[in-house]
Structure 1
Amino acid sequence: MIIMGSDAEEIAKLRRNLFTDFEMKDLGGLKYFLGIEVLRSSKGIFISQRKYILDLLVEIGMVDCKPIDTPMQVNHKLKMVEGATLADKERYQRLVGKLIYLSHTRPDIAYAVGIVSQFMHKPQEDHMEAVMRIVRYLKGAPGSGIIFKRNDYLKVEAYTDADWADNPNNRRSTAGYFTLVGGNLVTWKSKKQKVVALSSTEAEFRGIVKGITEVLWISQLMTEIGFPPQSPSQLKCDNKAAISISENPVQHDRTKHVEVDRHFIKEKIENEIIELPFVRSEEQLADILTKAVLK
């Protein structure tokens, strides 16, 4: 059990009441919980799953495997192939399940894990090889994780992107976002879209909607705990066409199929809840590496 709060007296009272009714032991400051390691220093709080990764390597006999630099091949095009050799379904599902849990502190594998998790029902050998590649990538840096620094601001920022029609089986796009509060990474997600996008702009557009929804949820949560946003949140996107459509009040025939999304985004921009600046793809990646991530 983890007890958190800003009132030391109330925490002490709760602890006494728990000790009265249950056999419990106070383990002090949080250091390890459900496979997640927590380290504190003058720089901030660092969380990782190093031991969890090392235990996984031992379990599957890959302690001595050769590390690799990336969790997935570029332009992998993983798909279901008719007549391909099947992999061990139970082993595949168990491995992917562990990788999904590792995604809690390793946003760098979120996209790759999202891809391999799409084949849980009938995994093939190519899919198992992709899973093993993720494991080899983790072997290269098992101690990586996320650091939370105490900065002097609480601005909410988000980045969104989409890979148009990347699924070779049904041509659905994969979109993703990550959000930062005060320069610290707090949420991230990569997921295949539910409908086929007719253009890269539409794929990016739907990704923006998911990103804004997440920003609104975080802003509401911060307001409830006493830290309401003092300025519009920024959601950065690398698609100028999607930004233009979001800000343009004129309806276009080619955007009628995403008209509801367009009005949703436009409303948040007009109410000065969201700002939608353009950022180049390479700059977006640089910001991710600088602000968000793995140490």
Structure 2
Amino acid sequence: MDCVKLPDVGSRSLTTALIQFGFVQSYPDYSLFTYCKHNVRLHMLIYVDDLIIGGNDTAAIVKFKSISIGASIYLGPLKYFLGIEVAHGPEGIFLSQRKYALDIISKCGFLGAKPTSVPIEQNHHLALAKGTLMENPNRYRRLVGRLIYLTITRPELCYCIHILAQFMQSPRQEHWDAALRVVRYMKGYPGQGLLFCSDSDLRLYAYCDSDWASFPLTRRSLIGYFVLLGQTPVSWKTKKQHTMSRSSTKAEYRSMVTTSCELKWMKKLLLSFGVAHDEPARLYCDNQVALHIVVNLVFHERTKHIEVNCHFVRDELQRGNIVTCHVRTTEQLADILTKALGKEKFAYFLGKLGIRNLHTPI
């Protein structure tokens, strides 16, 4: 894969030029373009004026680079893109944001701080904090904003940063201390990231979970999911549900629906890369009742209140796009996205998810 710097041209002009060259714009992601002719396959990803191109034919890539798109600049093999460091090795491709993380640590003055083993306290009460309001809340907003971008390669930070982002309007001292704790956690593992193993298969798996009525002010539930391609997460999210669920089962059922939508989109996106998934993707959930609701189409008094759009997961199951599976709570990988975990369990899930630290600690 190579990286190219584009001139300041309009997106429509660039799209037109690529289509004339023979590229096809991807429907699941309009920033992705694919060229597939005569056993030559090229893929191009564009973000504003930065471009990544890769494929199975080096000569075709060289030919494309020789075609002038304005005053484009060839930056060489892909090593750094939008703050994400890309390292190629015999094991596979490793993605991290080490430089970005070190910049945050340095700006906070924590280069010499003692690191913590988990990014957030297990029994925190940040939603009920009554401490002093910050005199300069912009400091808090800037720090949390930087931390949000770090979740691109650090899914283990999603839960704690989701919690911190809820107090942007009126942060208190407890919230600031919790944000600095995340920085101290990063101090111990600045180069942690995702390893895409070269010998991994291309099957899709998903884990979804919820924390029922976890937010004490509104009692709305928190959902989280991982979508894995082979052994590595490729999509994840921590999100508060829009409405209050009447039971933990309904909260889990909603999380399955959200994850099913992501799986459907991911299948379409991978198809743009020429990776077809004829087998149903496995969707893992640790709530037996929610799993029974999915497979049981019989009307029931206790499920009649569930909205029609929530039965999307049933439709996907009947179409053969997914298959639901039970997973023990102790093996539910999405737990790390919905709860504050202790040191041992947190480290265990990091290992199961393939989140590694290939750099020497600072």
**TM-score, length of structure 1 as denominator length:** 0.93
Structure 2 partner of 1:248: 296
Structure 1 partner of 2:71: 22
Structure 2 partner of 1:3: 52
- Partner secondary structure for residue 28 of structure 1: strand
Alignment CA distance shift 1:66-1:288 (3 Å): closer
* One-letter amino acid of the counterpart of residue 146, structure 1: L
Structure 2 partner of 1:53: 101
Structure 2 partner of 1:178: 226
Give CA-to-partner distance per residue, 1:126-184, whole Å, 9 cap, x none.
Answer: 11111111111111111111011123531110000111111011111110001011222
Alignment CA distance shift 1:255-1:77 (3 Å): farther
Moved more, 152-161 or 201-210: 152-161
**TM-score, length of structure 2 as denominator length:** 0.76
More strand by share: 2
- Partner secondary structure for residue 294 of structure 1: strand
* One-letter amino acid of the counterpart of residue 64, structure 2: L
Please tell me whether the aligned partners of residues 246 and 262 of structure 1 are also in contact (alpha carbons under 8 angstroms): no
User: For structure 2, which runs of at least 5 residues remain unmatched after alignment?
Assistant: 1-49, 334-347, 358-362
Structure 1 partner of 2:87: 39
1:97 maps to 2:107: no
More helix by share: 1
Shift of 1:261: 4.3
Whole-Å Cα distance in 1 between the matches of residues 187 and 303 of structure 2? 45
Alignment CA distance shift 1:136-1:291 (3 Å): closer
* One-letter amino acid of the counterpart of residue 135, structure 1: V
Structure 2 partner of 1:289: 351
* One-letter amino acid of the counterpart of residue 108, structure 1: E
Please tell me whether the aligned partners of residues 245 and 262 of structure 1 are also in contact (alpha carbons under 8 angstroms): no
1:197 maps to 2:259: no
The one of 33, 40, 63 equivalent to 2:111 is 63
Structure 2 partner of 1:188: 236
Structure 2 partner of 1:231: 279
* One-letter amino acid of the counterpart of residue 53, structure 2: M
Q: Percent identity?
A: 42
Whole-Å Cα distance in 1 between the matches of residues 139 and 329 of structure 2? 37
User: For structure 1, which runs of at least 5 residues remain unmatched after alignment?
Assistant: none
Shift of 1:229: 0.3
Please tell me whether the aligned partners of residues 151 and 183 of structure 1 are also in contact (alpha carbons under 8 angstroms): no
The one of 177, 183, 187 equivalent to 1:135 is 183
Whole-Å Cα distance in 1 between the matches of residues 297 and 157 of structure 2? 38
Please tell me whether the aligned partners of residues 105 and 186 of structure 2 are also in contact (alpha carbons under 8 angstroms): no
In the TM superposition, structure 1's runs of 4+ consecutive aligned residues that sit over 6 Å from their partners are none
* One-letter amino acid of the counterpart of residue 85, structure 1: T
Whole-Å Cα distance in 1 between the matches of residues 120 and 159 of structure 2? 9
- Partner secondary structure for residue 236 of structure 2: strand
Alignment CA distance shift 1:186-1:140 (3 Å): same
1:86 maps to 2:133: yes
Give CA-to-partner distance per residue, 1:97-127, whole Å, 9 cap, x none.
Answer: 1100111110110111111011111111111
1:206 maps to 2:268: no
Please tell me whether the aligned partners of residues 176 and 190 of structure 1 are also in contact (alpha carbons under 8 angstroms): yes
Whole-Å Cα distance in 1 between the matches of residues 256 and 67 of structure 2? 46
